[in-house]
Amino acid sequence: MFKINDNYLKLPGSYLFSTIGKKVNAYAAANPGRKIIRLGIGDVTLPLPPVVVEALHKAVDEMGDAVSFRGYAPDLGYDFLRNAIAEKDFAARGCGIAADEIFISDGAKSDSANIQEIFGPDNRIAVCDPVYPVYIDSNVMAGRCGDYDEKLQKWSNVIYMPCTAENGFVPELPKGRPDLIYLCFPNNPTGCAVTKEQLQRWVDYANTEGAVILFDAAYEAYISEKDIPHSVYECEGARTCAIELRSFSKNAGFTGLRLGYTVVPKELKAGGISLHALWARRHGTKYNGAPYIVQRAGEAVYTSCGQEQVRGMVEHYMKNADVIRNGLKDAGYEASGGINSPYIWMKVPGGMTSWDFFDFLLERANVVGTPGSGFGPSGEGYFRLTAFGTYENTVEAVDRIKGI
């Protein structure tokens, strides 16, 4: 008789965004004709930049011609893209990352979920609280998180690092001894960023303790302040303790196209075994490479024209972030984030839970956000709004919130 992986049974009922989707659909069905403005899920609304569209067309034509047709892509990625990334994302910022340390993938969600596979079952993970749910759920599936305590809303074998208003949403170094530390800066959901000095403390800690930092930099393009590192490799010693995950989703609008990459430096070793070799083995076995046309589209992002167009998209969303943050503050709410990230993290008004406020906002303003408690126990009492809507909808949503 076959047996299932019963770790799956431990997972909470459904993914946060499907719960939200169900609630919103039920409300929309019961209230036809109402215009619901969705500032909940972190999906982009602007179309692909013109250079990307042009590169896609060109690559499609190549694929339709026997001479230039390409079959399976190299499983770690085409050199043209890996070289562009090494030069523009790393060398340009003074980070020594070689092209062959970059693994091209279909996005940061799969990489951030899959990366735990190269670590043993007994590793203990540490996560920020609140946190992007994928880090925990993927480790639950691998049987690494222990049991879930409904009351505490915590897993017994996970180290939670609270990010609260008291610590400026920047976690303290963990009290327990984690082996794998998930960090995401600029942060989803709090919108907070860390300075280079703060991140250096984590790198030093990981090197001293023999831990690995899994650094998710999916929102790097939104950094506007000077002293905020765009990559963990801007910190000294990161090559021996950190893996970095990147995405083309939020800077270049690839949420529906799918492209990302992971950096595993060759010096990163456990007992002399290189994690780079393990991830290459995993990638080569389970993945046949991101599509050629999509990798060509990714390459176009690094042209000077592409960089300019991507900057324009980020500026567009950050204008929305200003509207939300300032609008909420004018209306008397406490709100942070939205300066180095497209997320605004607001405190819900007195006495309400995050889900109470979700319902309140949906019913009274027809605006959808994300309840902070969906990201972890320290998110209770908070609410996330995203700057990824259209400008007109964002202004209208903020006006409606002010109105209630």
Q: For binding to ligand PLP (CB under 6 A), which residues are involved?
A: 42, 107-109, 112, 132, 184, 188, 216, 218, 247, 249, 255, 260
User: What is the residue type of 292?
Assistant: Y
CB 325 within 8 A of CB 344: yes
288-85-203 Cα angle (round to 5): 100
Nearest residue (CB) to ligand PLP, 183 versus 365: 183
Question: Using CA atoms, how far apart are residues 204 and 255, in angstroms rounded to an integer?
Answer: 34
Cβ proximity to ligand PLP: between 40 and 327 the closer is 40
Structure tokens, 139: 């480790």
Nearer to ligand PLP, 200 or 262 (CB): 262
Please tell me the distance from the alpha carbon of residue 155 to that of residue 149, in angstroms, as a whole number. Answer: 6
Distance CA 270, CA 213 (A): 13
How many helices and strands, by DSSP H and E, does the chain display? 12, 17
Q: Is 255 helix (H, G, I), strand (E, B) or coil?
A: coil
Round to whole Å and give the CA distance between 162 and 168: 10
Task: Please say which residue, 250 or 365, places its beta carbon nearer to ligand PLP.
Answer: 250
Shortest Å distance, C-beta 31 to ligand PLP: 28
The answer to whether the CB of 300 falls within 8 A of the CB of 51 is yes
C-beta of 19 vs 207, nearer to ligand PLP:
19
What is residue 222's DSSP assignment? G
Smallest gap from Cβ 192 to ligand PLP, in A, equals 12
Helix (H) or strand (E) holding 81: helix 79-85
Nearest residue (CB) to ligand PLP, 73 versus 365: 73
Distance CA 346, CA 189 (A): 10
Provide, rounded to whole angstroms, the least separation between the CB of residue 114 and ligand PLP: 11
Between residues 145 and 257, which has the closer beta carbon with respect to ligand PLP?
257
Q: How far is the CB of 113 from ligand PLP (least distance, A)?
A: 9
The 3-state DSSP class for residue 339 equals coil
**Least distance in angstroms from the C-beta of 15 to ligand PLP:** 12
Comparing CB distances to ligand PLP, the nearer of 188 and 378 is 188
φ/ψ of residue 11, rounded to 5:
-65, 145
Measured from the CB of residue 363, what is the shortest distance to ligand PLP in angstroms? 26
- The smaller minimum CB distance to ligand PLP, of residues 366 and 375, is found at 375
Q: Considering the complex, what minimum distance in angstroms separates the CB of residue 248 from ligand PLP?
A: 7
Dihedral of CA atoms 344, 378, 163, 259 in degrees, nearest 10, equals -60
Q: Are strands 148-149 and 154-155 parallel, antiparallel or unpaired?
A: antiparallel
Instruction: List, in sequence order, every beta strand (DSSP E) within 250-387.
Output: 260-263, 269-270, 273-274, 335-337, 343-347, 367-368, 370-371, 382-386
| C-beta of residue 293 within 8 angstroms of C-beta of residue 73 | no
347: helix, coil or strand? strand
215 vs 365, beta carbon nearer ligand PLP: 215
To 10 degrees, the CA torsion angle through 23, 24, 26, 30? 140
| Cβ 111 to ligand PLP shortest distance, Å | 8
State the minimum distance, in angstroms, from the CB of residue 386 to ligand PLP. Answer: 9
- Closest contact distance (angstroms) between CB of 318 and ligand PLP is 16
If the CB atoms of residues 42 and 369 are measured against ligand PLP, the closer one turns out to be 42
Q: Residue 304, class by beta-carbon neighbours within 10 Å (0-12 exposed, 13-18 middle, 19+ buried)?
A: exposed
Shortest Cβ 289–ligand PLP spacing (Å):
16
